[in-house]
Amino acid sequence: MPMGIEIERKFLVDRLPPGFTSLAGTPIRQGYILVTANAAELRVRQKQRRFFQTIKMGLGLSRTEIEIELSRDQFAHLWPHTAGRRLSKTRYTVQVGGHSAELDRFDGRLAGLLLVEVEFASVETAAQFRAPAWFGDEVTTDDRFSNKNLAFYGIPGR
């Protein structure tokens, strides 16, 4: 989604879903250039051989998201400005009740953390969603589990 409103629920993962070992994951690394006190963030991300700059604004279930694809050179110029505010993970796509869920298995200092996100077309659809048994506690409104705060502060409680 290049720009618009992102409607997303996020959960911890209690256990890996059935069939997980047969899934192919996509390595992702991302870093934060700017995070403001009013919940705006500017990040850069590498997803395989593609590079993106993303602006997100807001907290919780529904946020504004604007994503622009970058060249490799543009990304390379911006990446050093994210030092100390980075994370890496492998993303797996899992079908859950007619929705595509993105399960993230974090690496590095976030190793051991598993989160799953499900995006929706509307707030109403998000409210109707019933998480499967392998999902854990919902952390949609717990900002400690936002990617930006994980990149800055690590896993909550550690």
Closest CA to 92 of 142, 25, 137, 4: 25
Provide the pLDDT for residue 112: 94
DSSP 16: P
Q: What is the pLDDT of residues 30-81, one digit of tens each?
A: 999 999 988 899 999 999 999 999 999 988 899 999 999 999 999 999 999 9
All residues at 6 or more sequence positions from 55 whose CB lies less than 8 Å from its CB, including other chains: 40, 41, 42, 64, 65, 66, 67
Q: What is the pLDDT of residues 99-134, one digit of tens each?
A: 999 999 999 999 999 999 999 999 999 999 999 999
Q: What is the pTM of this model?
A: 0.92
Q: Residue 127: phi, psi to the nearest 5?
A: -65, -30
Catalytic site positions: 32
Q: Output the CATH code of domain 6-153.
A: 2.40.320.10
Provide the pLDDT for residue 39: 85
Q: Which residues pair with 28 in a beta bridge?
A: 47, 89
Dihedral Cα 146, 141, 25, 87, nearest 10 deg: 10
Return the domain boundaries, the chain. Answer: 6-153
Residue 85: pLDDT over 70 = yes
All residues at 6 or more sequence positions from 141 whose CB lies less than 8 Å from its CB, including other chains: 59, 60, 61
Q: How far is CA 154 from the centre of its chain?
A: 14
Copy the structure tokens of residue 46. 């590498």
